């Protein structure tokens, strides 16, 4: 019989991975695989969006590492979904490289948030407070 404890326990590396994803989201407009000049003055809104979403993901992951609450995981899921929708909302879907990165990074953020929410769903507030650091 397989051991499901890996998927049932919230581990600190998941929070560190969330922090890494936040940093990657912040710098994603400047990834070297970009072929078009996606970052120019009239498209600075996508840089601001990437920076704000990345900072929020990074901050929430740091909060999860220190003090675990379910709202943080829900916020991570929502941020991941927003990042995935951003290319269509802000109209930079024609920049396929940036669209690819934002969909990939957003899916990873949403997946990690959903995994952590599932892991912590049945824990009481006292058990959440004992989250290992």
The whole-number pLDDT of residue 96 equals 83
Please tell me the predicted confidence (pLDDT) of residue 26: 93
pTM above threshold 0.85:
no
* Separation of alpha carbons 12 and 100, rounded Å: 28
In this predicted model, what pLDDT tens digit does every residue of 50-88 receive, in sequence order? 999 999 999 999 888 887 777 888 999 999 999 999 999
Assign residue 114 a region (left: φ > 0; alpha: ψ between -120 and 50; beta: otherwise). Answer: alpha
CA distances 5 to 2, 73, 78, 86, Å, are 9, 19, 26, 35
- The predicted model gives 27-39 an average pLDDT of 64
Domains of the chain by residue range: 12-27+40-124
């Amino acid at each position: 019989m397989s051991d499901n404890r890996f998927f049932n326990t919230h581990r600190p590396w998941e929070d560190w991975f969330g922090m890494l994803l936040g940093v990657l989201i912040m710098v994603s407009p400047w990834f070297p695989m970009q072929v078009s000049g996606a970052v120019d003055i009239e498209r600075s809104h996508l840089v601001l969006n990437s920076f704000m979403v990345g900072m929020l993901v990074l901050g929430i992951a740091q909060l999860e590492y220190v003090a675990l609450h379910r709202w943080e995981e829900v916020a991570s899921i929502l941020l991941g979904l927003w990042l995935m929708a951003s290319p269509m909302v802000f109209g930079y879907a024609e920049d396929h490289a940036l669209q690819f990165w934002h969909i990939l990074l957003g899916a990873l953020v949403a997946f990690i948030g959903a995994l952590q929410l599932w892991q912590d769903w049945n824990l009481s507030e006292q058990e959440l407070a004992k989250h290992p650091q």
